[in-house]
Amino acid sequence: MLDPDTNPTRDRCNDGPSPAPFVSTENLSDPAIRDLLSETVSNVARSSQVDAAYAACRAIGGGQGFFRNWKEKLDALLLPTYRLLCEVHNDPGQIARIAAESDIEPTKAARRNPALICMTIGARPTNTDQRKLCSDWSMLLRCALAESTPVEKFTGFVERTSIRDCKVAIAKQKRRAKLAAGLPTVEPRSSGPAVAEPDHAREEGSPRLELRLHGADGTTGETVELPASIHGTVMDALTAPGSQIERLERLAASLQALARELTLGTGTGDPRPDGGEPEADEATAEAADV
């Protein structure tokens, strides 16, 4: 039989967690109650701050986010710049004129890259990071122009390709141009440090060291043949015991010595074999990929 003094409902409720203390004017003097009340108010205020920041974040791009309309933003930049490139790429006089009228000051190397000039006119970069982005985007323009893509089909071209693919295509195009000109070339590589490697096209027993230069955008720049007089120094720098940093420092010192020798030997301050300038998308003083 049930005990008349037992309340089953009350006993079952006691099995669960204890309810939060009831706050009233009578127990506000209790320190524990005051701490609980202060914590509750703080949590409410904190949640309000988070909610406000969250709402502002969700409102980006009219609630569509940044990348939802990224394609439209990029098209708004790329399409006009490609149309301009198609008009001026074979007219150095017009390229110089629009560069002057737009108040941009392209480097000597950039003057040989009409796509980068057009991109700079449209994007107006103000720092190194923005200029690197412009260099990447200009690859899309160069690749489309190389494929004779009409302006009205340029948007579709951008949708089916990528900057990486365009970099590889441009590197191959440069290699073909060098082959046609009878200049030394190497197979294009997408990335990696400058390396010294033998030329297997030469006769066996006739060693040759080449320094392969890579641009900041990952494309292969040019190949410089190292004089036989420093082969031993370079190999010692690369193979002697030590950390990678130490080996690179030794290699840099040997190359600097070579540059000084070439300068003294030719009476000029330009150690580049062709006396030319680096391409705008190759290693520069701003971003050198060694």
Domain-located, residue 21: no
Secondary structure in 3-state letters for 264-283: HHHCCCCCCCCCCCCCCCCC
Same domain, 155 and 188: no
Interacting residues of 223 by C-beta distance below 8 A, sequence separation 6+: 184, 185, 186, 210, 211, 212, 213
Identify the residue with better confidence: 45 or 20. 45
pTM: 0.48
pLDDT at residue number 270: 43
Interacting residues of 231 by C-beta distance below 8 A, sequence separation 6+: 207, 209
* First CA to last CA distance, the chain: 91
Mean pLDDT of the chain: 72
pLDDT at residue number 251: 78
What is the spatial distance between Cα 121 and Cα 80, in angstroms, rounded to a whole number? 10
Same domain, 136 and 103: yes
With left for phi above 0 and alpha for psi between -120 and 50, is residue 287 left, alpha or beta? beta
pLDDT at residue number 1: 47
Same domain, 148 and 195: no
Domain-located, residue 153: yes
What is the spatial distance between Cα 6 and Cα 1, in angstroms, rounded to a whole number? 11
Domain-located, residue 197: yes
What is the spatial distance between Cα 287 and Cα 271, in angstroms, rounded to a whole number? 19
Mean pLDDT across 204-214? 60
Of 79-83, 127-131, 173-177, which has the strongest mean pLDDT?
A: 79-83
**Burial profile 103-123: b = 16 or more Cβ within 10 angstroms, e = fewer:** eeebeebbbbbbbbbbbbbbb
Q: 252, 225, 227: which is closest to 238 by C-alpha?
A: 252
Same domain, 153 and 189: no
Confidence of residue 60 (pLDDT cuts 50, 70, 90): confident
Q: Per the structure, how many domains does the chain have?
A: 2
Q: Which residues form the domain of 255?
A: 184-266
